[in-house]
Chains A and B, each alone.
Chain A
Amino acid sequence: MRRLWRSVLFLGRDSRLRAWLKPWTDSLNTFSKGHQSLSVVLGMAVVTTVLPFIILFPPFAGFATQGDWVQGFASAGIFVLLALGLNVVVGLAGLLDLGYAAFFAIGAYSYAYGASPFAGTHFPFWPLLLVGAMVAALFGILLGAPTLRLRGDYLAIVTLGFGEIVPVVFRNADTYTNGTNGISGMYRPALPVTGTFLGLNPVPYYITVAVLVALAMVFLYRIQDSRLGRAWMAVREDELAAASMGINTVTTKLLAFAIGASTAGLAGVFYASKVTIISPDSFGFTVSFTILAMVVLGGMGNVWGVAAGAFVVYEIQSELLKQMNGFVEHLNLPPINLGVTTIDLAKVDFLQYQFLLYGLALVGMMLLRPEGLFPNRRRRAELHDVDDAEAANQELVEA
């Protein structure tokens, strides 16, 4: 049974299929190695073009209209950005951040202060993207500088705490944030050619987020293969040895935090401009954990894998499970007779089981592939568990 599932889920691992595809994948690999940025841009362009048409075919067509699908893809893009940012922190630098949604919130509120009737401001969207990213990065440094000396699990709880504090502050500082009601009526982005984006037309948002994701991926690939990227990996592998090779581990980790946070800030600005209403409740712990699940499921440390993982998890969680009812009705399954009772899937309210199914999906995917769907071939990223003190202690014992 297990083997069957594996072969169904992971056709790509089938050796015959692989052998058949090998000449193609090989030449693709050589090309992408030599022209990394170009191949990312081309890949994103292909994906962006193809996606809105794939869903016109069954089984996807049963779920929603094309417009709804594209709307969903634009939202999925936000989570792809978030997952790419968190991948820097968790996948590359090996720092467990459980409060990542806080930076997302900070980005979103930055946009609310820059372009909403509540704040009485109306700055254009595009520069605010950068501002939001920078503000989030500053808060990343503010949180990271005093806490990055902590070892893994303590850092995890501190970030978790930060992730809880930020929404509490936004909720309770009513004068500045409008409290639980949140801030609404954010101005939408505008471009010279298209004019202001419309809420009903998801296409401009979809294209914008695709461009943002492509840019983020290009930048991350480039950083990954630079002095900083190697320093991140070295810190992840062995912090003590990294320090003994001249790496300022605090600065290195701080940069991972800041860059991760700035990506979340960027995503936050885009999110605020898309939904035009934000409230503290949209940035809770569940969001942080969903992003983490995306990174781990995608395959930590692998840019394309994390992006794909984010997309898959988002679609499962926010689209497929919500549309399950329509989909099952569409299938016209006959009721299953179990003797004692009959199960008519068409009458089951799947919406009610949404989190149950999501939870089962998370557990099942992890049990099948603990290293993620698309693990980094070279580095099966794994958080090291030898911390400073312990390592030093070990050295001492052996002395």
Chain B
Amino acid sequence: MSDSPVTPVLRTVGLTKQFGGLIAVRDVDFEVPEGSISSLIGPNGAGKTTLFNVIAGLFDPTSGYIEFMGRRVVARPERSWLEPVLWMTGPAVLGASAYGAAVAGLSALVVEFLLFAALIVLIGVLILASVRPTWYVDGLVRLGVFKSARPNDMVAAGIGRTFQNIRLFANMTATENVLVGMHDQLRQNPLDAVLQTRRQKREESEARREAARWLRYVSLRGHDDDLARNLPYGDQRRLEIARALASKPKLLLLDEPTAGMNPSETEAMMQLFARIKSELGLTILLIEHDMRVVMGISDRVTVLDHGEKIAEGAPAEVRADTRVIEAYLGKGAI
């Protein structure tokens, strides 16, 4: 197996994901070098999409971890019980002192004040635990509590994705879909929206212009105000890519982007990927079944079978690998 010449954007180490008795991904180590197009291939049920979902923050791995841009983002949770305990300490202490004050016969005002304080602290803690600002997460890490990044944290870190079975916001327009993709880029808050501040208006109009640019980038012209569900199939795939690009990712995960397309559509898609790589400088990791796509544009191919990595390397090397041929065609094929 060849060593990657460039620093990896994404690295998985000993990644295993088990569902009940089924081991979907088994001890997978692989790297995605910066600026490359890497492909993940394998027969149906090989664990490709599971691996994708773990990378995108959907499931916690059973063991092993994922590093993105040198930072450990996904791993099995550690001491996660400590977090709720910490949440409850403040309100519990205040509540207990309220009870103590009542027993000690202090004035009702003191008791009520303490109870009120307990309530406010509880609400504050609940908000904190939902919003999970960076300093809060970092503080927890210092206490030894590790929780994997959630999907939205992965987007903030710089991973964009598409889905195998298209998951657009069906009843929103193409523009709105892209605007949702830009969610993390926008700085407005609800108060700006209510008061229609100048910042809000400027940001909205800029965002709409940028959304239109993204739609043109994936060649979706003239469909800006169409509902996503009314778009033809191929355009829906493109819109999904535009939506993912709008979050300005460093790594783009594409799950079977050319599934169900005819050869000329596939050809156009391949050109789009090449442009994304060269013009936007993105790293792309894709799951693909179409070998023409895989062999045509990949810099590096990783093969999974029964959840295990069985081969890795340049397309030509992988194509010649006996284990890969076996996995695809069965043992008797050689």
Contacts and interface: CB of A to CB of B under 8 A. Distances in A.
A379 B171 contact: yes
B63 interface: no
Interface string A327-348: 0000000000000000000000
Contacts of B49: 395-396, 398-399
A149 B227 CA distance: 28
Interface string B47-59: 1111001001011
Nearest to B249: A246
Given A399-B24, A399-B48, A245 B168 contact: no
Nearest to B244: A245
A145 to B, nearest CB: 4
Contacts of B169: 233-234, 237-238, 241-242
A227 B156 contact: no
B130 A245 contact: no
B193 interface: yes
A244 B176 contact: no
Interface string A211-242: 00000000100110111111101100110111
A395 B155 contact: no
A243 B164 CA distance: 16
Interface stretch (B65-73, B121-129, B134-142, B260-268): B121-129
Interface stretch (A17-25, A68-76, A249-257): A249-257
B130 A378 contact: no
A226 B204 contact: yes
Given A240-B167, A243-B152, A246-B156, A254 B130 contact: yes
B106 interface: no
Contact of B190 (A37, A228, A230, A242): A228
A234 B53 CA distance: 19
Nearest to B256: A398
B50 A396 contact: yes
B297 interface: no
A346 to B, nearest CB: 49
Nearest to A391: B167
A41 to B, nearest CB: 14
A138 to B, nearest CB: 5
B247 A246 contact: yes
Contact of B193 (A222, A234, A237, A254): A222
B263 to A, nearest CB: 24
A380 interface: yes
A237 B176 CA distance: 12
B193 A223 contact: yes
Contacts of A233: 169, 171-172, 176
A381 B172 CA distance: 11
Nearest to A240: B167
Q: Which of B50, B150, B161, B167: most chain A CB closer than 10 A?
A: B167
A32 B265 CA distance: 41
Contacts of B200: 226
Contacts of B192: 226
Contact of A378 (B131, B150, B171, B204): B171
B300 interface: no
Contacts of A394: 165
A395 B119 CA distance: 40
B81 interface: no
Contacts of A37: 196
B94 to A, nearest CB: 15
B183 interface: yes
Contacts of B165: 394-395, 398
B86 to A, nearest CB: 15
A145 B130 contact: yes
Given A234-B169, A399-B50, A142 B183 contact: no
Contacts of B123: 138, 141-142, 145
B59 A230 contact: no
A237 B188 contact: no
A237 B127 contact: no
Given A141-B126, A142-B126, A396-B19, A255 B247 contact: no
Given A222-B194, A378-B171, A380-B171, A145 B24 contact: no
B181 interface: yes
A237 B45 CA distance: 28
B184 interface: yes
B243 interface: yes
A169 interface: no
A310 B304 CA distance: 57
Contact of B194 (A223, A245, A248): A223
A226 B181 contact: no
Contacts of A228: 190, 193
B64 interface: no
Given A245-B152, A255-B190, 12 more contacts: A145-B123, A219-B194, A227-B193, A243-B151, A245-B181, A247-B180, A250-B131, A379-B171, A379-B227, A392-B59, A395-B165, A396-B24
Interface of B: 19, 24, 45, 47-50, 53, 56, 58-59, 119-120, 122-123, 126-127, 129-132, 150-152, 154-156, 161, 163-165, 167-173, 176, 179-181, 183-184, 186, 188, 190, 192-194, 196, 200, 204, 227, 243-244, 247
Interface of A: 37, 138, 141-142, 145-146, 148, 219, 222-223, 225-231, 233-234, 237-238, 240-251, 254-255, 259, 378-382, 392, 394-396, 398-399
In the A-B complex, list the 6 residue pairs whose CB atoms are closest, starting with the nearest.
A246-B155, A399-B49, A226-B193, A145-B126, A246-B184, A237-B169
